[in-house]
Chain A
Amino acid sequence: MKRQKRSYRIFIIVLLAVFALMALMPFVYLVVASLVEDMSQVFKNGLALDITPDMLGTGNYRMLVTEQHGVFFRWFWNSVVVTAMFTVLSLATSSMVGYAVSVYRFRGRKIYIIMIMSTMMIPVEILMLPLYREMLSFRLLNTYLGVVLPFADSSFAIYFFMQYAASLPRELVDAARVDGCGEFAIFLKIMGPLMIPAFGSMGILQAMTAWNDFLWPLIVMSTNENFTLTVGLQTYLSPYGNNYNMLFAGAVISVIPLMILFLCNQNAFISGIMAGSVKG
């Protein structure tokens, strides 16, 4: 029995180690490759692994600063702004809607719920054509707002806040009313603060979505200095030879913010992902 247990443990560790290795190898490779200055050495028709220490240096990172007046950091900044705007706007509107639908019993509430449910998982890609035209006529193409506005108020986030608000004690709302508190004050001062864990989880999810979003910024942003990181980086993958020096270094830098966020508060991250799933 004991021996069986031990061989089980060894089997499990090997299994997990293999998967962990597959998950982590691209990171290791990207970091190492980003330090190789002469890219012709790194790969010919695909990646090769024979990299020796004397090939390494920080030249690619310096290149990011100097090439095209450091436009890479402009992209980085754009991603920061878009992510911040998207997250704040999304949390503010979704929490209000989710709260209202779950706490109040008002005429039309059912219709709201149907509206929220029916758009819950309709992806961005479907409406990209009419939305592009719409942004064109609003003169929002090639602007931060154009990237952020259409998808900030997501049904997914609303549904999440609906569930969370429903779990809060409603007596608090009634008690506050008795004390003469207005409805908005109740939300801002009493129920809002109780929803802080929900803001944390959803905030992380939305920030991740915005930071890594690709298709919609690709459609909206049309000039080089307005690109977000994802859109900017892929311009280095041009049909006329790939600029792998900047691609590798840029890719590494683009992952760092979320990586730091994740390593610093893993539990918030994990509970955020879990909160994003539907509890049956």
Chain B
Amino acid sequence: MGGVGVSLMLTGRKRGAAERHGINTMRIAPYLFTLPFVISFCLFFAYPLGYMVMMSLENIEGISSVTFVGMKNYVRLFGDARVMNAVRNSVMFTAGILVLNVVLALLLAVVLNNRQTPLRNMFRSALYLPALTSIIVAGIYFRLFFGSGDRTPLNSVMSFLGFGPKAWLFDTVYTGVFALVITSTWRWLGTNLIYFLCGLQSIPQELYEAAEIDGAGPLQRLIYVTIPGLRPMIVFVVTVLTYGGLRMFGESYVLWTNGNTPNNIGITIVLYIYKTAFARYQTGYAAAMSTLLFVVLFFINLLYIRFLKIGKEG
């Protein structure tokens, strides 16, 4: 804290300047700088959050008819088979993208980080390009990719392997989730790959050299040097994917036109909330679901901050 004396001296010397600038002083300026955040925090976070919790305790029909119903919406939620469906689909989807994205992105990053790999930059760019598209663009392609026709590439492969063609989007809950996982992974893999590349570059080269001198083979170097060195980045990627998975909406909305998912196939938590609120106008019930989802995500957020110790002084 050697700076204290200096800054005290400076504030002493600054008196004249302070008077000249009015509000433009060291004491007041930080509050003005942060004012936009405070306003936006109150208007677009704290207030809506409180409002949402309140809505979740009400039965709201249309805009005007509101009655207080206490915990009824929450009770109803746990007996609602469609909610359970949506939760199951979202959880399966999250598990799917976690496995695919972490494993594949890590593998590709290790390969692309190796100096002996040819055309590294070209491959990196090619693998990243899908991340530039919106879910609509990806959805247009993948709803055709998973189409039921027997001449689609996927069904051709299926026939070649001796299975019949499938209507992937309408067959079972599992093929539905599979289609969602592939669609998302196509868009997200590139970003996660870059995250891991970034993490790999922060591992000191000397560690690898030391491991090699100790006689560690490529696999041992991966397990004892690379993966521990990537730990913070793995935690980051897992957290981002968990959020992305539990909040997923667009993929379902586009793969099944306007989110009209058949029976229990393809419906996700956020899509169900959206439909409950904006198609069935049961705003109170939808608010109860959102509140619960908020609690879950907030908890994950806390765990994450704890885990990485971000935000600590330093």
A121 to B244, CA, bound (A): 10
The docked-state distance in angstroms from the alpha carbon of A9 to that of B114 is 11
The answer, yes or no, to whether B40 is at the interface (CB within 8 Å) is yes
Contacting B134 at CB < 8 Å: which of A50, A96, A174, A212?
Answer: A212
Selected interface stretch from B93-101, B219-227, B290-298: B290-298
User: In the complex the two chains form, what is the Cα distance from A254 to B132 in whole Å?
Assistant: 10
The residue of chain B having its C-beta at the shortest distance from the C-beta of A138 within the complex is B43
Measured between beta carbons, the chain A residues less than 8 angstroms from B308 are 278, 280
Within 8 Å of chain B (Cβ to Cβ): is A53? Answer: no
CB pair B287 A130 closer than 8 Å: yes
Residue from B24, B43, B127, B130 in contact with A184 in the complex, judged by beta carbons closer than 8 Å? B24
> Which of B26-34, B67-75, B77-85, B205-213 interfaces with chain A?
B26-34
Given the complex, which residues of B lie within 8 Å of A15, measured CB to CB? 111
B235-251 vs A, Cβ < 8 Å mask (1 yes, 0 no)? 11001100100010110
Interface stretch, picked from A41-49, A57-65, A66-74, A195-203, is: A41-49
Known: A26-B141, A277-B236, A278-B236. A93 touches B36 (CB 8 A): yes
Contact with A along B103-122 (1 / 0, CB 8 A): 01000100110101111010
Q: Is B144's CB under 8 angstroms from A104's CB? A: no
Cross-chain contact B254 with A48 (CB below 8 angstroms)? no
Establish whether residues A134 and B258, one from each chain, have CB atoms under 8 Å apart when the complex forms.
Answer: no
Pairwise interchain contact B149-A248, C-beta atoms closer than 8 A: no
State whether B186 touches A26 (Cβ < 8 A).
yes
State the CA gap A251–B133 with chains docked (Å).
9
The answer to whether A23 and B129 touch across the interface, beta carbons within 8 angstroms, is yes
Question: At the interface, yes or no: B174 with Cβ under 8 Å from chain A?
Answer: no
Nearest-neighbour CB distance to chain B for A145, whole angstroms, equals 12
Does A127 count as interface, using CB distance less than 8 angstroms? yes
- For the complex, is A193 an interface residue (Cβ under 8 Å from B)? no
Are B30 and A104 neighbours in the complex by a CB distance under 8 Å?
Answer: yes
CB distance from A159 to the nearest CB of B (A): 8
Is A274 a contact partner of B195 (Cβ separation < 8 A)?
A: yes
> A130 to B133, Cβ gap below 8 A?
no
Q: Mark A130-147, 1 if CB is under 8 A from B, else 0.
A: 111110000000000000
Across-interface contacts of A259 in B (CB, < 8 A): 129, 132
Task: Point out the residues of chain B lying under 8 angstroms from A230, CB to CB.
Answer: 134-136
- A interface, size bucket: 35 or more
In the complex, the answer to whether B243 meets A123 with C-beta atoms within 8 Å is: yes
- B201 closest partner in A (C-beta): A274
With A12-B117, A23-B129, A151-B44 already in contact, the answer to whether A229 and B134 are too (CB < 8 A) is yes
Complex contact A129–B283 (CB within 8 A):
yes
CA of A150 to CA of B44 in the docked complex: distance in angstroms? 6
Q: Is the interface of B mostly helix, strand, loop or mixed?
A: helix
> Interface SS of chain A: helix, strand, loop or mixed?
helix
B25 at the interface (CB under 8 A from A): yes
Tell whether, in the assembled complex, residue A254 and residue B137 are in contact, meaning their CB atoms are under 8 Å apart. yes
Q: Which residue of B lies closest to A280 (CB)?
A: B232
A158 within 8 A of B: yes
How many whole Å from A257's CB to the nearest CB in chain B?
Answer: 9
Q: Which chain A residue has the least Cβ–Cβ distance from B291? A: A126
Q: Does B178 contact A (CB under 8 A)?
A: no
Q: What is the 8 Å Cβ interface bit string for chain A, positions 240-280, against chain B (1 contact, 0 not)?
A: 00100001100100110011001000100110011001111
- The answer to whether A129 and B277 have CB atoms under 8 Å apart is yes
Q: Which residue of B lies closest to A99 (CB)?
A: B33
Are A130 and B49 in contact, with the CB atoms below 8 A? yes
CB distance from B48 to the nearest CB of A (A): 4
Query: Is B14 located at the chain interface by the 8 A CB criterion?
Result: yes
Q: A106-B30, A270-B194 are in contact. Are A215 and B151 (CB under 8 A)?
A: no
Given A12-B111, A237-B254, A19 and B127 touching (CB < 8 A)?
A: yes
Q: Is the CB of B29 within 8 A of A273?
A: no
Contact B247 A123 (CB under 8 A): yes
A16 within 8 A of B: yes
A51 at the interface (CB under 8 A from B): no
Q: Check if B263 is an interface residue, CB within 8 A of chain A.
A: no
Residues of A within 8 A of B152 (CB): 43, 45-48
| Most interface-central of A16, A24, A126 (chain B CB within 10 A) | A126
A234-B253 in contact given A45-B147, A239-B258, A278-B308 (Cβ < 8 Å): yes
- Report how far A49 CA is from B145 CA in the complex, Å: 11
Q: A48-B152, A170-B3, A177-B26 are in contact. Are A22 and B257 (CB under 8 A)?
A: no
Counting from the closest, the 3 A-B pairs by CB-CB distance are A46-B147, A280-B232, A45-B149
